[in-house]
Structure 1
Amino acid sequence: MKAIGFKKHLNIDNPESLIDLEISIPVPKEHDLLVKTSAVSVNPVDVGVRKSGRTILKKPKVIGWDACGIVEKVGAKVTLFKPGDRVFYAGSFIRPGSNSEYQLVDERIVGHAPKELTDEEVAAMPLTSLTAYEALFEQMGLELNSSKNKGKNILIINGAAGVGSTATQLAHLAGLTVISTASRPDSIAWTKDHGADYVVNHRKNLITQVRKIGYKYVDYILELNDLDGHWKEMCELIKPEGHIVSITENHRPINLRLLTKKKAHFSWEWMYTKSYYHTDDMISQHEILDKIAQMLDNGKLKSTLNKTLSPLNAQNLRKAHKLVESGGKVVVSKWS
């Protein structure tokens, strides 16, 4: 089968940073689905894994997480899907990725694809949806469509990106007032179009801006870019007993004591945790993706896709990586 991978961690302008491959089609076992991929999207995690490292790999590494495709074969323990089902998923961090014609993925982290969206629109959504959903409804403990959220608010830092755009929509559906951050005219317009009630600039003082629109504190903060740079601002803005969730790592020590008097909560969100450790609740990702599919089909959510490239080959995947490095949600579809 065709695949795209790399052996060297190179700048994306180098033709060897991602190369076309021919590898064997894998065989599904136990809970595995063998999926014939039709579209994949590129996220910052793809760029990070491709760039990080100095060694030359003995065999090419195939990455890629978001995908939409058709189930070809199933393992002996599969109960949730059958051959012919159209599916979407964000895959596992410790298995070969979606940048291949066929991919093995555990059924417990796979959802039935939305029926009303194109393959490209579908492929843009799994990773961002799972991250946003888990951050809001598992980490923060919010409830979707709940009167309990009335009068509460959330600050989403980097709200115009993929996770931010999805989180903005979900938070809005949950009844929260959404304060999103964006810095450019196009990203400001984008986040407003995805449900932000207010927009502030993360390149300027967030405390001053949030208080200027009438909020001394916020109930929740979802941090999606530059934890180090925004830490003190978040600790000042979070409401007593509020909750901060971050998807980005700190590069220097963060002072948790700034949250002590407020008895505020801080937690991490990493969408891959469940499949990485095979947690007991891993099947929740299947359930979440099925909910997301329903919301996409009934128009409560909209895809965050903003650019498509075709066909699916190394040249176009390199273009997609370069676009994502400068910001954006790019899908590559249709194997040549």
Structure 2
Amino acid sequence: MKTTAIGYSENLPAAHPEALLSREVPVPEPGPRDLLVEVEAVSVNPVDVKLRAGAPADGFRVLGFDAAGTVRAVGAEATLFAPGDEVFYAGSIGRPGTNQRLHLVDERIVGRKPTALSFADAAALPLTAITAWEALFDRLRLEEDSAGTLLVIGATGGVGSVMLQLAEALLPDVAVIATASDDARAARMRELGAEHVVNHREDLVAQVLEIAPEGVDRLFTAHSEGQIERYAEIVRPFGHVVAIDDGPRDVSPLKGRSISWHWELMFTRPLLETPDMIEQHRLLDAVADLVDRGRIRSTAATVLGPISPAALREAHELVERGRTVGKVVVHGWEEAIDSARESTDIY
């Protein structure tokens, strides 16, 4: 039995007609704790773009991490889900990606799809929600009764947009400062929960210290390269920085203030199968609950379709430009859309 998969066989620019290709591949057999998911929607993240542009294809590599879909089969030891359940997840960098009709994923990194969201809107959330949650609660060790200040640099990005919402919902006493480059983006950051917004294109240090004269307690950054000297000025002594980009190799300017540096990579748990791997399942279920209670909204901004090499190439181009506010999602398979059209014509 075969299924459709979309991937790359060589590193080409996103606009190249063969940058992403469709192939028929064998339907994978679930391992003991795997789910076989029929994928309904995916989103494209910077990691997809980075891999397509430079990672070895090893013949043919299927990309994709974020996904929402329906469970079709489960492994012999799977207990968290059953066939027919609707789920969302961010996959693992160590396994074939979600850009395929039928996809295998370990149930311990899968959450129930929020009932309030479509598959397309749900597919925008997992990778960014996991990253934001782990950065706040695992790396920075924030708790419900935490106080102080949090500066979110890169707040208009996918992770930052979810982080603001999580802080608003779960950290009522933490004052959040977000960065944005213009008034429209600043207004959106306030809608998502930021108490203060500063313009990162102007004097960031002066703006932040005007709000927090002693320095901020915690700083999240999606863009840390070349910024360490600034961070050493705006983070208070004994404060904390968490970064999700490849970042600098020298953080010594932070030493004089005993500022702690943390890395956050949401693939660590699934890639290494850590003993607490199931925490990603639990946090995704918690995010789904927050969505269904109206505390978190989807960050889907651009929805393309159907899922095809052409649509995914367009999504890669949009993400590469770096000007999107919100996530780029690709939804539906061509056969399903054609079938729906035929049904509509009949009636």
TM over 0.5: yes
Mean Cα deviation higher: 275-284 or 198-207: 198-207
Picking from 143, 159, 164, the partner of 2:160 is 164
Please give the residue correspondences for 1:197-276 in structure 2 after superposition, counting only pairs within 5 Å.
197-225=195-223, 227-250=224-247, 252-256=248-252, 258-276=253-271
Please give the residue correspondences for 1:295-310 in structure 2 after superposition, counting only pairs within 5 Å.
295-310=290-305
Relative to the length of structure 2, the TM-score reads: 0.91
Q: What SS does the aligned partner of 1:80 have?
A: coil
Q: 1:58 Cα shift?
A: 4.9
Q: 1:172 Cα shift?
A: 2.3
Q: Is the 1:66–1:88 contact (alpha carbons within 8 Å) kept by the matching residues of 2?
A: yes
Measured against aligned partners, the alpha-carbon deviations of 1:138-173 in whole angstroms (never above 9, x if no partner) come to 100001xx2332xx1110001011000001111222
Unmatched 5+ stretches in structure 2: 335-347
Aligned to 2:175: 177
Aligned to 2:75: 75
Q: 1:312 Cα shift?
A: 0.8
Mean Cα deviation higher: 178-187 or 23-32: 178-187
The letter of the residue matching 1:161 is G
Aligned to 1:40: 42
Aligned to 1:131: 131
2:155 paired with 1:153:
no
Measured against aligned partners, the alpha-carbon deviations of 1:227-282 in whole angstroms (never above 9, x if no partner) come to 122211111111122111000112x53232x2233222111000000011110000
Mean Cα deviation higher: 42-51 or 259-268: 259-268
Q: 1:184 Cα shift?
A: 3.1
Identity %: 43
Instruction: Tell me, in whole angstroms, the C-alpha distance in 1 between the residues paired with 2:149 and 2:58.
Output: 50
Q: 1:214 Cα shift?
A: 4.7
Q: Is the 1:108–1:286 contact (alpha carbons within 8 Å) kept by the matching residues of 2?
A: yes
Instruction: Tell me, in whole angstroms, the C-alpha distance in 2 between the residues paired with 1:333 and 1:8.
Output: 25
Q: 1:24 Cα shift?
A: 1.3
The letter of the residue matching 1:231 is I
Distance 1:142 1:214, change over 3 A: closer
Aligned to 1:66: 66
The letter of the residue matching 1:136 is L
Instruction: Tell me, in whole angstroms, the C-alpha distance in 2 between the residues paired with 1:86 and 1:36.
Output: 9
The letter of the residue matching 1:147 is D
Q: Is the 1:66–1:127 contact (alpha carbons within 8 Å) kept by the matching residues of 2?
A: yes
Instruction: Tell me, in whole angstroms, the C-alpha distance in 2 between the residues paired with 1:212 and 1:321.
Output: 39
How many residues are matched?
Answer: 327
Q: Is the 2:228–2:254 contact (alpha carbons within 8 Å) kept by the matching residues of 1?
A: no
Q: 1:204 Cα shift?
A: 2.5
Unmatched 5+ stretches in structure 1: none
Instruction: Tell me, in whole angstroms, the C-alpha distance in 2 between the residues paired with 1:156 and 1:26.
Output: 40
Q: Is the 2:244–2:265 contact (alpha carbons within 8 Å) kept by the matching residues of 1?
A: yes
Q: Is the 2:218–2:240 contact (alpha carbons within 8 Å) kept by the matching residues of 1?
A: yes
Relative to the length of structure 1, the TM-score reads: 0.94
The root-mean-square deviation of aligned C-alpha atoms, in Å, is 1.3
Q: 1:19 Cα shift?
A: 1.2
